[in-house]
Structure 1
Amino acid sequence: MSRKHTPEPSFAAVAPLAEKRRSRKRAGFFQKMEVSLPPAALTSGVPLETCLRKRRTNRAFSDARLMQSEVSQLLWAAQGISGLGGLRTCPSAGALYPLECYLVVANVDGLRPGVYRYDPDRHLLVLTAAGGRNEKLIECCLDQECAGEGAVSIIVTGAYKKMTAKFGERGIRLAHMEAGHAAQNVCLQATALGLGVIAMGVFDDAALAAALELPESHQPLYVIIAGRKFV
């Protein structure tokens, strides 16, 4: 005698409710992980020519903290919104903006160590991975000690597909050029703030992407270390 299969009537009612609760929980979690940054200053008493003349690679950093206002300024210089229509501080072919900036925090007032994604549209940080990463950065940057000595590191990544969809293979070159624009902006802004900075292009791509838990669609292009100079 075959048994009749009776579907569980409660599942249809409970599953959507459970999913709603999970969604709310996830939304609440990510909301808590957002950190608003102080507004970026749009003027400075330091002339551009002075920054160009004084910009230098710095490999020795102190253990002094950075202020959130300084971090805000560095990120705005890299990819901040500077005009109507979402125009940014550095040029982008076709205004496609394939770059993302990930901030690795080691020593910043009011920010816990971890990896944050910079959201230029809202000028805020979104925590993507908790915990310090400086030791990992040293390994990923082929044992360059200075990679783990800064108060922050800005990892510039690129989504090639955004560019190749319009420009074909040349889009990859354009993304690399844009990363250079962003890195120079950060170096000049750091100089204006009196901070030490070094832009590094030598690292293990796959190891760095794994250490920072980057999305698969994003390729790390530049590592920029910043902090107070060791004197």
Structure 2
Amino acid sequence: MHYLLKRGFVMERQVLARIALGVPTSKGGEGVWEVMERRRSQRVYSREGLSFDLLSQLLWATQGITGREGPYLFRTTPSAGALYPLETYLIVHRIERLNPGIYLLDVPEFRLELLREGDFSQEIVAAALHQSMAAAAAVVFVWTAVIKRSSWKYGERASRYIYLDAGHIGQNLYLAATALEIGCCTIGAFYDDKVNQLIGVDGREETAIYLAAVGKAM
């Protein structure tokens, strides 16, 4: 059963505003083989921002709904047991139509929820072991795991499956960014507590597990 139907599996948050995302497309574009061949980790970014539509397309590539069957929601990425324990947060620096701040992706409604408004570029750099690309990028993706969405079924093995899920999502982001001529670099080196505090999660029931910088390449 889809996790949204299980009591306690949706984390409660204070939301300042909700912004509907753009309509994604699955038509046209470069072939998957060419995209895989061109994929690279991009660590140097220009100060140019990204369009709102490009961000919408990237979010759909990582966590978009591709179909519905009763209570089940099919997504662009696989998940162990179709439990989808990962949440997507954004540290927005320079995105058209969005104020800088921290946002959460509402997957079923395909919209963003504004959690905190402000410039958090220095905070995310400090949390990411002072990797400057976290501030130079237009946006930083932060994926968290809501542990019990997987552990109720898989017990201790849930931790393995959660990281596999993160890998699927990260690769989809890489490929989508490459196809859209956008730079991307995933980040595994960060201070868990600092990232958790920044986005407002407790580090126990929900904790940050993976980051990615995204922006226009130099």
2:208 to 220, 224, 227: 220
Is the CA contact 1:209–1:220 (under 8 Å) kept in the aligned structure 2?
Answer: yes
The amino acid across from 1:69 in the alignment is D
RMSD: 1.3
The amino acid across from 1:139 in the alignment is A
Structure with higher RCO (Cα < 8 A, 6+ apart): 2
1:88 to 75, 97, 100: 75
Residues 129-167 of structure 1: CA distance to partner in whole angstroms, max 9, x if unpaired?
111211111101111111111001110111111111101
Larger helix fraction of residues: 1
User: Mind listing any 5+ residue stretches in structure 1 that lack a counterpart?
Assistant: 1-28
1:46 to 3, 24, 30: 30
Aligned to 2:150: 163
1:191 to 178, 187, 190: 178
The amino acid across from 1:165 in the alignment is W
Q: Which runs of 4+ in 1 moved over 6 A?
A: none
Aligned to 2:101: 114
3-state DSSP class of the match of 1:75?
A: helix
Instruction: Give the CA deviation at 1:44.
Output: 2.9
Identity level (%): 34
Residues 65-118 of structure 1: CA distance to partner in whole angstroms, max 9, x if unpaired?
100111001111111101123111111111111000001110011100001100
Instruction: Give the CA deviation at 1:125.
Output: 0.1
Instruction: Give the CA deviation at 1:215.
Output: 4.9
The amino acid across from 2:134 in the alignment is A
* TM-score, with structure 1 as normaliser: 0.84
Larger strand fraction of residues: 2
User: Mind listing any 5+ residue stretches in structure 2 that lack a counterpart?
Assistant: 1-13
**How many pairs align?**
201
Residues 20-72 of structure 1: CA distance to partner in whole angstroms, max 9, x if unpaired?
xxxxxxxxx94x60001111111232111111001101111001110011100
1:63 to 44, 47, 56: 47
Instruction: Give the CA deviation at 1:214.
Output: 2.7
3-state DSSP class of the match of 1:199?
A: strand
Structure possessing the higher radius of gyration over alpha carbons: 1
The amino acid across from 2:217 in the alignment is K
**How do residues 137-216 of structure 1 correspond to structure 2 at under 5 angstroms?**
137-216=124-203
Is the CA contact 1:129–1:213 (under 8 Å) kept in the aligned structure 2?
Answer: no
